[in-house]
Amino acid sequence: MACPGQLAVYNDSYIPGLKILSAVMKCAGNKAIMQLHNAGREAIAAYQKFGR
């Protein structure tokens, strides 16, 4: 994660929550897109998993 509050999608444990989010969005007639972001060396070290 690069910044606090970013949507996390880096492992399958987030799928159930993303399914709920997508169902709510679809029910309201919305569509979603996702932009992948790799902060690289600009990432905040406290938010990194470091091999976990």
Within 10 A of 9 (CB to CB), how many other CB atoms are there? 13
- Distance separating alpha carbons of residues 8 and 14, to the nearest angstrom: 7
Say whether pTM exceeds 0.85.
no
- Distance separating alpha carbons of residues 7 and 1, to the nearest angstrom: 8
Closest among 32, 40, 44, 38 to 4, alpha carbons compared: 44
Yes or no: say if 2 and 44 are a contact pair by the CB < 8 Å rule.
yes
Say which residue, 27 or 11, is predicted with more confidence.
27
Give the start-to-end residue ranges of the domains of the chain: 1-52
Say which residue, 28 or 38, is predicted with more confidence.
28
